[in-house]
Amino acid sequence: MAERNSAKKKLAVATEAEESGNAISELERTKDNIVDSLGLLEYYVKEFDKTEKIQGQVGAWAEKLEQLYNDYHRIIAKLESFSTEEEPVDLKGERIDFDTRYYALRAFYMNKLSKSSGSASVNPQSSVRPLNIRLPEIILPKFSGRLEDWCVFRDTFESAVGSRDDISAVEKMHYLKGLVQGEAARILDPIRISEQGYKNTWRSLRLRFENKRQLIKCHIRSIFDTPAMCKESVEELLALVDRFEQQISVLKSLGEPADRWSSLLVYLLSVRLDPSTLREWENHCAKLDADNIAAVLGGTARDVDHVNEESSAIPSYISMVNYLQNYARVLQAVSPIVSHSAPCFKPPRPQPPPSKFASFPVAAQPETSSSAAATVIQSSKPCAKCGQAHYLYQCPEFRTMNVTQRS
C-alpha cells in the first residue's frame, strides 16, 4: 500500500511538472510571436521613406504597437510567476530591450502623426488619425549635489526633458532650475536663462559631477555604508535589497564588472540582515550544503565534476536576492495573521468544593470589597437561637456549635 501511494505521488508530481512545462512553452511561443511582430513594425519604419503606400498606415501601426506592448508585459508577468529558488526566471534584460524598441517606435509614430495632423488642418481629406494616448505624469527627481544621486538624475532628466525636440532650450532651463537645489544650484545662479545658457549650465553640471572614478568610489562606499536591519520587517528587508540593487545597477552602467563580485555581495548583504532573517538564510544555505555533500558522497566521478562546476557551496548574489524577495512575500502574507490573531483561550476558574453544610443556604460573596463581603442579610423573623434579626445560619452562637449540638 505504501509503495502504491508513493507511486501515485510521483506520478502526480510528474504530471504537474509536465503541465507547468507545457504552459511555459506556450507562453514562450506567444512571447516570440509578439517580438516578431515588433520586428515587422521596425521593418515598416525602415521602408517608410521608400514606399508611399505605407505612409498612410502610421495610425494603424501605432494602435498595433500599443496592443503588442500590453500583451508582451502580460506574458512576461505570467512567465515570471513560474520562478522558483531552484529555477529562477529572470527576464529583466529582455523586458528592457523590448521597452527600448517600443519607445523608439512610439517616438517615430508620434513625430509622423504630429506632422500629418498639421497638414490635415490644411488638407481636410487626410484620413490619418492622431495618436491619442495619455501617459501618466512623470515625477522627476530633484538633485541637491549628492554625488550618488547624479547618475539617476542625469539619465532621468535626459530621457524626459533633455532629449525632447518639442521643448525649447529656455523651457529646459526652467525645468533644470526647478530640479537642481542646494549646493548644485549655485552653478545655475550666475547663468542667464537662454538657449545658450541651458547648454552652458548642463555642461557645467556634467563637468562638476560626472567624474567616473569618483562616481564608482561613491557607489561602492554607499554599499559598504548601507545600514543593517533593526528587526524582521518587510519594509526594511525590501529597502535593503533595493538599495543594493540600485547601487550595483549604477556600477554596471559605469562599466564595473559587478557580476563577478557575487561572493563579496552575498557576504555584505548577509551581515546586514536581522537575526531572524539571517537564521532563515543560513538554514537555506545549510540545506544546499547538505545536498552538495550528498551528491559528492553518493554520486559517481561524473556527478562530482558536475557538482563542482554548477553547485557552489556559496550561493550566488542573484539567488540570494531571489530568496530574500520570496521571504519578504512570506512575511507580507503572514503579517496580517500575526497582527489580527484570535485571543488566547482562557480556561474557566475552578469552582470551590461544596460545603459539608450543604443543607444550609450560603449567601453569595460579592467581589467589590471586603466590607461588602461581611454584610449580614437581615431576616423578617428573629433568630431561633439568639432572637436577633438574622437567619439561623448567620447566627454567631449557632456557628460555634458542633453537629450534635445543632441537632
Which of 92, 136, 83, 128 has its CA nearest to residue 110? 128
Structural domain contains residue 2: no
Q: Cα 337 to the chain's mean position, in Å?
A: 19
What pLDDT shows up at residue 403? 67
Set of cell numbers at residue 4: 502504491
**Where does a domain end: 168, 191, 210?**
210
Same domain flag for 71 and 22: yes
Type of residue found at 130: P
Contacts of 213 (CB under 8 A, 6+ apart): none
Structural domain contains residue 277: yes
What pLDDT shows up at residue 125? 47
Residue 180 pairs with which residues in a beta bridge?
A: 143
Distance in angstroms (rounded) separating the CA atoms of residues 245 and 260: 15
Set of cell numbers at residue 169: 532650450
Residue 322 · residue 85 · CB < 8 Å = yes
Distance in angstroms (rounded) separating the CA atoms of residues 10 and 402: 80
Q: Cα 170 to the chain's mean position, in Å?
A: 39
Same domain flag for 219 and 288: yes
Structural domain contains residue 67: yes
Structural domain contains residue 312: yes
Query: How do the pLDDT tens digits run along the chain, 407 residues long?
Result: 555 666 556 555 555 656 666 778 888 888 888 888 888 888 877 777 766 666 667 778 788 888 888 888 888 888 777 777 777 777 778 888 888 888 888 888 788 777 766 554 444 444 445 555 665 667 788 888 888 888 888 888 888 888 888 888 888 888 888 888 888 888 887 787 777 888 888 888 888 888 888 888 888 988 998 999 999 989 999 999 999 998 898 888 888 898 889 889 999 999 999 999 999 998 888 887 776 666 666 654 444 444 444 445 668 899 999 999 999 998 888 876 544 444 544 555 656 555 444 444 444 444 444 444 444 555 557 787 787 877 777 788 877 877 677 76
The length of the chain is 407
Q: Which residue has the cell 537662454?
A: 194
Same domain flag for 53 and 114: yes
Same domain flag for 16 and 98: yes
Structural domain contains residue 240: yes
DSSP secondary structure string for all residues of 29-90: HHHHHHHHHHHHHHHHHHTTTT-SGGGG-HHHHHHHHHHHHHHHHHHHHHHHTT--SSS---
Burial of 16 (0-12, 13-18, 19+ CB in 10 A): exposed
Same domain flag for 146 and 252: no
Residue 143 pairs with which residues in a beta bridge?
A: 180
Residue 386 · residue 397 · CB < 8 Å = yes
Distance in angstroms (rounded) separating the CA atoms of residues 79 and 81: 5
Residue 140 · residue 156 · CB < 8 Å = yes
Q: Which residue has the cell 504530471?
A: 15
Distance in angstroms (rounded) separating the CA atoms of residues 199 and 318: 41
Residue 58 · residue 130 · CB < 8 Å = no
What pLDDT shows up at residue 122? 44
Same domain flag for 31 and 92: yes
What pLDDT shows up at residue 359? 46
Maximum Cα–Cα distance across the chain: 129
Tell me the residue range of the domain where 94 lies: 12-135
Model-level pTM? 0.43
Same domain flag for 162 and 274: no
**Where does a domain end: 298, 314, 336?**
336
For residue 165, give the 3-state DSSP assignment.
Answer: coil
Distance in angstroms (rounded) separating the CA atoms of residues 156 and 14: 48
Q: CA-based angle 155:161:165, to the nearest 5?
A: 125
What pLDDT shows up at residue 373? 41
Q: How many domains does the chain have?
A: 3
What pLDDT shows up at residue 336? 63
**Where does a domain end: 135, 159, 191?**
135
